[in-house]
Amino acid sequence: MSSLENYQIQLVNDSLTVGALKFGSFTLKSGRVSPYFFNAGLISTGPLLNSLCTAYAHTIAKALSTPGPRRLPKFDVLFGPAYKGISIAAVTAVLLHTQHQIDVGFAYDRKEAKDHGEGGRMVGVPVAGTRVLIVDDVMTAGTAVRGALDMIRQAGGEVVGVVLALDREEIGHEGISAVKELEAELGGAGRVQAILRMRDLIAWLKDKGRHEDIERMQAYWEQFGVKE
């Protein structure tokens, strides 16, 4: 019996079908050679976006009800950083309402400020005075998420957490996890959640009996993985 939830399994299967998730050998921007690669930009049809955002909605709802210190704080607005995050925030807000009876607003940014109409870089529900949850795909160094965090704070919002599609569970070149750093900045454990983690992908591979991929993943984990 799999240790993964149905929505996690569905997302892995759908991502593999369109090549959004691949196992093999891939050189990352960091120069590391990774045994897997994830690109949420390829999740670009109605059914695939439904699968992805169903997983986001389940992850958020579960994190909100988790007992103890790892519980995700309540929030008012979902924020999706441009460009990938825009559709994720919009569809996840709908699914939180229809599947989990959780009603929140959503907002996103423009890459360039608009100098006519309502102007500015922020679009959607005003974030001033609200608690904001950022949704993003993958965080490596955390540059994009930190840019969104700064923008929301400048607009008067309070970022209470981040939810990722995939946490690679890696340490950076300085030996520090960007996710752990961000959690500490946002208030502690549980403030950064993920639909899937590297260990979940290893569990999926074990369920499928893909031994060569498992060996490559575990070797990568030993070298670069975050050790609890």
Residues labelled as active-site residues: 114, 116
Helix/strand number for the chain, H first, E second: 7, 8
Q: What's the burial of 182, exposed, middle or buried (CB within 10 Å: 0-12/13-18/19+)?
A: buried
Q: Are the C-beta atoms of 80 and 53 separated by less than 8 Å?
A: no
Query: Taken in order 84, 170, 13, 64, is the CA torsion positive or negative?
Result: negative
Find where tokens 């679009």 sit. 123
16: tokens are 């593999």
Which of 196, 223, 227 lies closest to 33, judged by CA?
Answer: 223
